[in-house]
Each structure stands twice: as structure tokens, then as C-alpha cells.
Amino acid sequence: MSSGRGGIRAETFSLIQELLHEGMAQRAIAKQADVHRETVRRIARGQQAGEVLDYRRCPGCGGLVLLPCLACEV
């Protein structure tokens, strides 16, 4: 399960929205997306649970980071 209050990735948010639209049960969505059921419930109600994190590949080191990359200062 995701740890604590860090927010969720944009891909996970999109997956949850798609599965909700398809009619999948919220508990099943939470299990598949590896998030808490409350996160799915909030997204279903239109309340964003925390911020959506937008990880990208750093052009300098190639790591999956939130830009700007603090490891290589790009």
C-alpha cells in the first residue's frame, strides 16, 4: 500500500478514474491500484486525495523524479 500523505502518481489517479467509470467496486479498485479505500472514495466523490505527483525522467541522470532533480541538479 502507498505510504502516508505523499499523494498519488498521475497514472494511478487516471487508472482509478477509469476503473470507477467502468463500474468496478471501490474496494477492488483500491486493491488493484495499491491505494487505500479512502483514496478511491475521495476520487469517486470528486475530492482529490492529496496532490497528484507528476514524476518524470530526469534528462541528466535518467531517474524517475519530481523535477527539478535534486540528485544531479537538472
Residue 13 region by backbone torsions, left for phi larger than 0, else alpha for psi between -120 and 50, else beta: alpha
Q: Which of 40, 37, 74, 35 is nearest to 56 (CA)?
A: 74
The pTM score is 0.59
- The domains of the chain are located at 8-65
Give the tens place of pLDDT for each residue, 21-67.
Answer: 999 999 999 999 999 999 999 888 886 645 566 778 888 888 888 77
8-65 architecture in CATH? Orthogonal Bundle (1.10)
